[in-house]
Structure 1
Amino acid sequence: MPLIGFTLAVVFQLPANVAIGTILIATCPGGTASNIMTYWSEGDIALSVCMTTVSNVLAIGMMPWCLFLYSRYWIAISNVIMPAPEEIAIALVIMLIPTSVGMLIRWKWPRFSEKLAFVLNIIVNIQIVLFIILSVVVFPHVFATGWRPWCVGTLYPFTAFTVGYFLSRLFGLMPKQAKTVAFETGIQNGALALSLINYLILQGYTNMAEMMTIPMIHTIFCDC
């Protein structure tokens, strides 16, 4: 995924900060959104949770390394963004706690879990609508960046879904599992990327706001 993000950023000649934001979201591990999409599409929930967990654990080392590798195309090595391992570890814990609670409820009280899932589906849909509305209000600059970032922001997850699905089928996975892999491949943890950028802005790097462009477009596209 970092290679796909890098290639699209170069092909569409994105500005440096926008391109770095593309690499940042491309190096992020999977988040809870992929688990939700897998549930809605009746994919393999166990596979989805396992892939999300593994990608988050590996991201503690792989995310800084990939950022170091790909960001050097646009900025000096000394300025490469290196997210702290604790930031990624926190994201892992945030994902594992509700997942563990959900698995416990599903195991102990299966009938109650079905009713709870119905209610949570409604809540998640409301959250998605609110997120999109707030994004438009709080980050208007994202929606006035020209056609290139929009092309990258939408082509990136679409390419990931396609590659994830057909590679899975090529290696013999059933459609249900291949669909799950496609979601896990294409839906990165946008909240992690945006929180890292916000952290940099709070530290005084005011020129980092442009980095939000691709992570924001990617998150909105995937949530829709």
Structure 2
Amino acid sequence: MRANCSSSSACPANSSEEELTVGPETHGSLELVFTVVSAVMMGLLMFSLGCSVDIRKLWLHIRRPWGIAVGLLCQFGLMPLTAYLLAISFSLKPVHAIAVLIMGCCPGGTISNIFTFWVDGDMDLSISMTACSTVAALGMMPLCLYLYTWSWDLAQNLTIPYQNIGITLVCLTIPVTFGIYVNYRWPKQSKIILKVGAVVGGVLLLVVTVAGVVLAKGSWNSDTTLLTISFIFPLIGHVTGFLLALLTHQSWQRCRTISLETGAQNIQMCITMLQLSFTAEHLVQMFNFPLAYGLFQLVDGVLIVAAYQIYKRRLKNRPRKRNPDCAEVCHDKNSRETSAFLEVNEEAAGTPAPSGPADHHRALEPISHIVSCE
């Protein structure tokens, strides 16, 4: 980052005045381009995902917000508690523990909406949960951080990125609102937009991951403890979110949605809060955790989507099993109908053919019974 580079004497860009004037400006320009491009792509993505939202179902979630309530409980109940327990269990340093806790207190990220679409989840619930958790973060983030850090001796106060929360909410609601309107007015065209958005979402995930790692490569270190936590933290969120949704008798579709929403955190909000609250010296030690968390939550999401798609294909290709009781009844019925059919044929062999369509239909009745049982 430019701020870190200009304040550090060990930074390679500080070796000469020429490098000092060119390097950070170029790096800052890359960051600006990356931010603008990712914001535009995210807006288009949320617009396309909004085309899958039914206004009636969305209003039903708002009127009866049981799924949203379970998601908020997972987001600001389970995740901060999990972050606190992980920090205590691994005996993290205060500067590392606070980074883990801030990540646990962040609202859900828009990456969960992409994964929810790929696992045939409830898109209406996913988008409403993301929006509601972002709004709730205005009050729940300070409350959770205060409750879990009141016994810690922090050298400086934490700054809640209210502006970043507001920007995230605007970038989420406006494109989704346009997408809902398009789905309401032109449902056929919205399906095409939705398919294109799914492809754009995959490209966006790849671009954001690669560009984020390249732009912040100086912040990585070899702390295996933080890497381990960043790997298991989103997994715990997915599992506990699914179990809590299951215990509250949510449908399987909602369970998948709440699970993905719980484990996927808003990485950008965590990074912004760290930048506003800590010095460049501390950021060098803290930046690797949100970056690693973002990478592993992407990997976990891709694995969940792949597992679901494999299960879906096997379920579709699996032959249907017959009921044993029905099989016995059908077998007895087939035997009786077959014998009756043979008797009819024997009688028909010594008599003229059926004189009319009615007689022909009666002669074929046993066959229709056999076919219907099959």
Same fold (TM over 0.5): yes
Which residue pairs with 2:148 in the alignment?
70
How far is 1:53 from its partner? 1.7
How far is 1:44 from its partner? 0.5
Matched, 1:217 2:295: no
Q: Once structures 1 and 2 are overlaid, which stretch shifts more, 78-87 or 19-28? A: 78-87
Q: Which of residues 117, 120, 133 in structure 1 aligns to 2:197?
A: 120
How far is 1:8 from its partner? 0.8
SS of 1:14's partner is coil
CA distance in 1, matches of 2:174, 2:96: 33
Which residue pairs with 2:107 in the alignment?
29
Q: Once structures 1 and 2 are overlaid, which stretch shifts more, 67-76 or 207-216? A: 67-76
SS of 2:250's partner is coil
- Percent of residue pairs bearing the same amino acid type: 29
Which residue pairs with 2:84 in the alignment?
6
CA distance in 2, matches of 1:143, 1:164: 29
Q: Which of residues 269, 278, 282 in structure 2 aligns to 1:207?
A: 282
SS of 1:9's partner is helix
Which residue pairs with 2:252 in the alignment?
175
Contact 1:18 1:213 in 2 (8 A): no
How far is 1:142 from its partner? 5.1
**Unmatched 5+ stretches in structure 1:** none
CA distance in 1, matches of 2:126, 2:96: 30
Query: Which one has a bigger Cα radius of gyration?
Result: 2
SS of 2:287's partner is helix
Matched, 1:157 2:157: no
Contact 1:5 1:22 in 2 (8 A): yes
Contact 2:234 2:264 in 1 (8 A): yes
Correspondence list, 1:125-144, <5 A: 125-141=202-218, 143-144=220-221
Matched, 1:40 2:112: no
How far is 1:85 from its partner? 3.0
Which residue pairs with 2:168 in the alignment?
91
SS of 1:144's partner is coil
How far is 1:86 from its partner? 3.3
Q: Once structures 1 and 2 are overlaid, which stretch shifts more, 90-99 or 167-176? A: 90-99
Query: TM-score under structure 2 normalisation?
Result: 0.55
Q: Which of residues 131, 140, 147 in structure 1 aligns to 2:224?
A: 147
The RMSD of aligned alpha carbons is 2.0
Q: Once structures 1 and 2 are overlaid, which stretch shifts more, 163-172 or 67-76? A: 67-76
The amino acid of 1:112's aligned partner reads Q
How far is 1:163 from its partner? 0.5
Q: Which of residues 177, 186, 197 in structure 2 aligns to 1:100?
A: 177
CA distance in 2, matches of 1:92, 1:140: 29
How far is 1:66 from its partner? 1.4
Q: Deviations over 1:152-186 (max 9, x none)?
A: 10111100110110111111111110111111111
CA distance in 1, matches of 2:93, 2:185: 52
How far is 1:60 from its partner? 0.3
CA distance in 2, matches of 1:13, 1:135: 28
SS of 1:79's partner is coil
Contact 1:17 1:208 in 2 (8 A): no
Correspondence list, 1:44-55, <5 A: 44-55=122-133
Which residue pairs with 2:59 in the alignment?
none
Q: Once structures 1 and 2 are overlaid, which stretch shifts more, 38-47 or 118-127? A: 118-127
The amino acid of 1:152's aligned partner reads I
CA distance in 1, matches of 2:169, 2:194: 22
CA distance in 2, matches of 1:209, 1:113: 44
Q: Once structures 1 and 2 are overlaid, which stretch shifts more, 117-126 or 191-200? A: 191-200
The amino acid of 1:49's aligned partner reads I
How far is 1:223 from its partner? 2.1
**Unmatched 5+ stretches in structure 2:** 1-78, 300-374
SS of 1:30's partner is coil
Q: Once structures 1 and 2 are overlaid, which stretch shifts more, 88-97 or 30-39? A: 88-97
Matched, 1:186 2:268: no
